[in-house]
Structure 1
C-alpha cells in the first residue's frame, strides 16, 4: 500500500491564503474609515490625538522660543538710534555727496543731465524731478513730525536737542520752480545734499590761514570774506574734472551759500529732519559739449576718493 508523504513546506504553502483584492474605491473608502478597526486614515482616534498633542506642544515651544529671542533682540535696539555708529558701522565716518535731479530710472548707473533746447517739453523731466524732490521741503506735512519741532536756525540761534532746522528752498532765487530752475535759460540748477551719518560731527576750517591747499582758489577767497561765526560750515565746490571741462563749465553760483551750515549737524534722526541743501547754478555752460563735473564737500574730517565717491560726487552736463 502506497503512502503519500507531505513535507512541512508544502503544508505551509497550502495554509497560506491569497488576500482578497478589493476594488480601488472600496480600498480608498476603507483607508478613510475602517469600521472593523475603527481607524481613520490608518490610525485610531487615540493615536491621532497623541500625535496632534505632540506636535502642538512641539511647535508651541518652538514659536515661544522664537518669540522670546526676538523680544530680547528688539530690547537691544532703539528705533531712532543705530546700534553700530561711526567707525563701528558699515557706513563709516566719511560722508559722500548726492545730487538731484537724477537721470531716468531706466538709465541705470547714468549720471548724465542732458536736454535739448529751451522748450519746456525738452527739460520737463528735469524740472518735474526737482519739483518732486523739493516737495517735502515745501510741504511740512509730507514728512512725519515736520512742522511740530521745526526751528528757524542761524549761526546765532542754534537748535536745541530734538529740534530740526528749516530749509527754506522757496527763497533760493533763481533756483526755484517759478524760474523753471533755470533750465529754460540753459542755466540749470543742480541740488547737492550730504549723506546722513548718525552722530557724525564735522571739523570745520575755522582758521582762514590754515585752509586745505587742495581747495579751489575761488573757494579759499570766498571763505576769507565770510564772517567768523559762519566759518562753521561744510564748504562746497564744483569744478570741471579736466582742463577742457574747466574751460567749458562757465561761472558757477551757489544758493543760499557755498556750503552746508554747521548747525544742521550732528544728524541724530530727530523727527522731521531734512538734510540741508546747496543749489548750484551753472550760469553759462558751453552748449553742445559734454562737461564732466565734480563737486566736493570740504571739512577737516572729510576725505576725498573719486573711486569710492567719498566726499564728492560726479555727474555730466550737456545742453544742446
Structure 2
C-alpha cells in the first residue's frame, strides 16, 4: 500500500510540487522565460515572413506581370479545340459534329452585337486594319479603358448567322482563331513581303498580323482545297492592341479570324498547320501553340 501511495505521490508531485512551487518540473519564472523566448522567436519569424511578402508586393504591379520572361508571345488558339488536335466528323451524322458547333457558338456569344452596345465601354475602331489604339499608360489614374467592338458578323460565312452548322454539315468546316491575350503586348506587322508566304502577299495589308494555313505535308497540298479567311482583313488588325488586362479592360474582345476549308479531300487524315507572321512572333518546336497550331481534320462522307 505504501509503494502505491509513493507512486501516486510521484506523478502528482511532478504535476504540481507544492514544496518547490513547480508545475510540470518548472517554476513559474522558468515557464515565463521559456514562454517569452518562443513568443520572441516566432514573432521574429513572422516578422521576417511578413516583411519579405510586403517587399515582394512592392515590386508587383496590379495591372501587368512584373516578369514575363517565361512567356513566349503570343500563343495561337482556335475554336473548336478538340482533344489531341483532331477534328473528325461525318457529314451525314449531325451528332458527330454537334459538339464542335456548340463549342463555336458558345465562344461567339460574347461577340453578339447586343453585348457591345455600351458606349462607355465600347467604341468602333473601323472595319479596316489600322495602327495601335493607344489608351494611355497602365499605371495611371484613367481607370477603365474602352475597347474596340468586334461583331461576329465580320466572320461572314463562319459567323453562325447564315449557317448554323458553321460549314460542318456541308463538309466545309470553320475554325475561329485568336491570338492569346498578353498584357500590353504589341504584335508588330511583318517588315516586308519577303517575310511572309507568297500566297499571303496579294492580300497583305499594313497594320495587320497575317495568318496562313497550309498542308503539313507538301505531298498533300493538292488535297487541302481552297481556304477563305474572314474578319478584318486576312489576319489580326493592330487597333485591337495593346490589351490592358482584366482590371482596366474587363470587357475586352480580341479580334478573330475565321478560317473556312472548302474542299478537303474526304475520308483521309489531312494535317494542317496555321501560322501568324510578325516581327516579334516566333515559333518553337517544343511549344506547338507559339505563333501557330497544328490540327488534323478528317471528313467522312
TM superposition score normalised by structure 2: 0.78
Distance 1:49 1:291, change over 3 A: same
State the partner residue of 2:138. none
SS at match of 1:274: coil
- Aligned counterparts of 2:148 and 2:215: Cα–Cα separation in 1: 32
Q: Whose Rg is larger? A: 1
State the partner residue of 2:267. 288
- Aligned counterparts of 1:53 and 1:79: Cα–Cα separation in 2: 40
SS at match of 1:60: helix
Distance 1:23 1:282, change over 3 A: farther
Query: Does structure 2 retain, via aligned residues, the 8 Å contact 1:306–1:312?
Result: no
- Aligned counterparts of 1:271 and 1:159: Cα–Cα separation in 2: 13
SS at match of 1:292: strand
| Residue 202 (structure 2) pairs with residue 221 (structure 1) | yes
Distance 1:159 1:302, change over 3 A: closer
Q: 1:189 aligns with which of 174, 185, 189?
A: 174
Query: Does structure 1 retain, via aligned residues, the 8 Å contact 2:223–2:264?
Result: yes
Deviations 1:128-152 (A, max 9, x none): 22233334444998xxxx9853222
Tell me whether 233-242 or 191-200 shows the greater mean CA deviation. 191-200
Query: Does structure 1 retain, via aligned residues, the 8 Å contact 2:173–2:261?
Result: yes
How far did residue 236 of structure 1 move?
Answer: 0.8
Distance 1:306 1:246, change over 3 A: farther
Which aligned segments of 4 or more residues in structure 1 are displaced greater than 6 angstroms? 21-26
State the partner residue of 2:213. 238
How far did residue 30 of structure 1 move?
Answer: 5.0
Query: Does structure 2 retain, via aligned residues, the 8 Å contact 1:32–1:40?
Result: yes
State the partner residue of 2:240. 264
State the partner residue of 1:73. 56
Query: Does structure 1 retain, via aligned residues, the 8 Å contact 2:155–2:230?
Result: yes
- Aligned counterparts of 2:148 and 2:230: Cα–Cα separation in 1: 17
- Aligned counterparts of 2:298 and 2:11: Cα–Cα separation in 1: 76
Gaps of 5+ in 1: 1-18, 105-109, 224-229
Deviations 1:164-215 (A, max 9, x none): 2222125523223451222222221112122334443333347xxx512651
How far did residue 74 of structure 1 move?
Answer: 0.8
| Count of aligned pairs between the two proteins | 279
| Residue 186 (structure 2) pairs with residue 201 (structure 1) | yes
C-alpha RMSD of matched pairs (Å): 3.2
Query: Does structure 2 retain, via aligned residues, the 8 Å contact 1:127–1:177?
Result: no
State the partner residue of 1:57. 40
Tell me whether 65-74 or 148-157 shows the greater mean CA deviation. 148-157
Distance 1:55 1:125, change over 3 A: same
- Aligned counterparts of 1:29 and 1:277: Cα–Cα separation in 2: 80
- Aligned counterparts of 1:23 and 1:244: Cα–Cα separation in 2: 98
Deviations 1:110-145 (A, max 9, x none): 11111233433211221222233334444998xxxx
SS at match of 1:54: helix
TM superposition score normalised by structure 1: 0.74
| Residue 135 (structure 2) pairs with residue 153 (structure 1) | no
Deviations 1:64-122 (A, max 9, x none): 2221221121111111122235xxx2224x53322222124xxxxx1111123343321
- Aligned counterparts of 1:173 and 1:138: Cα–Cα separation in 2: 13
State the partner residue of 1:134. 108
